[in-house]
Amino acid sequence: MQNFDYIIVGAGSAGCAVARRLSDDPATRVLLLEAGPPANEFWIRTPAGMAKLFKNKRYNWGYFTEPVPTLNDRRVYFPRGKALGGSGAINGMVYVRGNSRDFDHWRDLGNPGWGWNDVLPYFKRLENYGSLSNSMLGNDGPVSVTEPAVKHPTAVDFIEAARRIGVPHVEMPNGTEPESVGFLPASIRNGIRQSAYEAYIAPVRNRPNLVVESRVHVRRVILDKGEAVGVEVLQGSQVRTFGATREVIVSAGALNSPQVLMLSGIGDGEALHAHAIETKVDLPGVGRNLQDHFVARVQARSTPESSYNSALAGWRKYAEGVRYVATKGGYLALASSMAAAFVKSSPEIEYSDLEISFRPMTFTHYPNGKVEIDGIDAISASVYNTRPASRGEVRLRSRDPLEPPAFVPNFLADPADVRAMISGLRMIRSILASQPLAARVIEELTPGAAAVTDEQLLDYLRREGNCAFHPAGSCKMGNDDMAVVDERLRVRGVGRLRVADASIMPTVTAGNTNAPSIMIGEKAADLILADAKAR
């Protein structure tokens, strides 16, 4: 058995940050394990290639939920990255910290050290805003954060239309604003996607004390006398074990970290017994508290100059491809959304609970996985319920580690989520009807002018709403009966074992979750090093 000081399970956004920081000490041996392959293809590096990765079986687990009763028993698609870089290798690259009040709420739930003032230094440590930096934004970190390569005039008008209905415009949001609208920053560097692997690990891949293994599926954490001492993995057809002399850190993401714990005998004892798994630590909260941002789109036919659909259709898409290869600019260098408004669903809400993202284009997902730009001039906006009240769970389907877990998201189960989403659809309509954007809109395509009442809009949400690919909370941090880790991310009842990824969020952040996931990795590394020094 090969031994390392630390083993990190999962080379995603948090795991890569942990591995980099721990391996900065040349005397510390670090093993980073990833179930997926290297992510070095052209369409992974190209920002617009995310459309081709949406159902790519090589780089995407391609999960589906269990039938969701509140969504007409639909099975909702749950994409998850399966590559070095994790979901950051296939995501939309939007960089949003979340709101400062999110983290103060974590602190107030009984997690000292996780308030806004505590986590802000870690955000700044990971960021490189370059010339965009100010006193609230980082400038020396490994993750480049940049403005859109193209600021389309229609997106400019979206921002102005939102401002005219009362949403404050900010040049560069930093997470402290109760509401805001502006262009969205993205983790793109010189026109190329920058996953946490590319930012943190690729530059130091040749360190002799850092071993990165891809295509390795972790079967379980090995426990001995109440402590994590290593992991058992499947590598090809071979079962291997690796020893950890200090700690094991599980960073497999909100959908897979609870599975790893449960397969290791850590979870709800009754549920483990049902799969003939010996209960090593009875932790009923493992897999519970699952949250995601529910999302729905509004699409509208527009005047020709207001959409760039035509630039990515027919022969023009090849010209756009040449433009990208030559300059690393143009529409292929854009993240998933160009601009966004963070707004409150009602005046009584303390701070934004909706994200309205905007793009001067439209596309269609087909059942075979193909994503195509629509052949009409059109624009779209999506509303995300960023502070959902509904809670779901991740359940074991089998003791076979290669069998995906069962995902029960419970979207729209709480009436508050229904009210928020309907409010968000109406707010998009208000922005589209406000000048100067209104002059560009010809007619609403979806949900369509016939959907007027709350009941009709709810029917649309049930038929067409989806997850936003931001799962969190399934191994939550806290000190109640459902908490899985403490404020130092140590798994309760187990020594030398931590979880560090979006699963530890007590409540999901009010925005895209990649940035806070990297921050969690940064902070986790400091906690691990501080505890090692104390020992």
How many C-beta atoms lie closer than 10 Å to residue 301's C-beta?
A: 17
Distant-in-sequence, close-in-space partners of 24: CB < 8 Å, separation ≥ 6: none
Distant-in-sequence, close-in-space partners of 485: CB < 8 Å, separation ≥ 6: 475, 476, 477, 491, 492, 498, 499, 504
N- to C-terminal Cα distance for the chain?
25
Task: With H, G, I as helix, E, B as strand and everything else as coil, classify residue 399.
Answer: coil
Distances (CA, A) of 52 to 46, 116, 368, 513: 10, 36, 12, 21
Q: String of b and e for 170-181 (b: at least 16 CB within 10 Å)?
A: bebbbbebebbb
Task: Single out the residue of 194, 195, 145, 193 nearest to residue 46, CA to CA.
Answer: 193
User: Max Cα separation, the chain?
Assistant: 69
The structure tokens listed for 234 are 């499947």
Question: In the block, which residue shows the tokens 């509303």?
Answer: 383
The structure tokens listed for 190 are 């010189």
Q: Which residues pair with 189 in a beta bridge?
A: 192
The structure tokens listed for 145 are 């954060």
In sign, the C-alpha dihedral spanning 78, 473, 7, 24 is positive
**Residues acting as catalytic residues:** 470
Distances (CA, A) of 231 to 216, 249, 306, 337, 367: 11, 10, 54, 39, 37
Helix segments in 433-513, DSSP class H? 454-464
Helix segments in 188-235, DSSP class H? 196
Give the whole-angstrom CA distance, residue 301 versus residue 457. 19
The structure tokens listed for 317 are 């898409």
Pair 154, 437: CB distance under 8 Å: yes
Strands 238-250 and 2-9: parallel
Task: Single out the residue of 520, 518, 508 nearest to residue 474, CA to CA.
Answer: 508
Task: With H, G, I as helix, E, B as strand and everything else as coil, classify residue 504.
Answer: helix
In sign, the C-alpha dihedral spanning 229, 519, 257, 286 is positive
Task: Single out the residue of 295, 297, 299 nearest to residue 307, CA to CA.
Answer: 299
Pair 300, 441: CB distance under 8 Å: yes
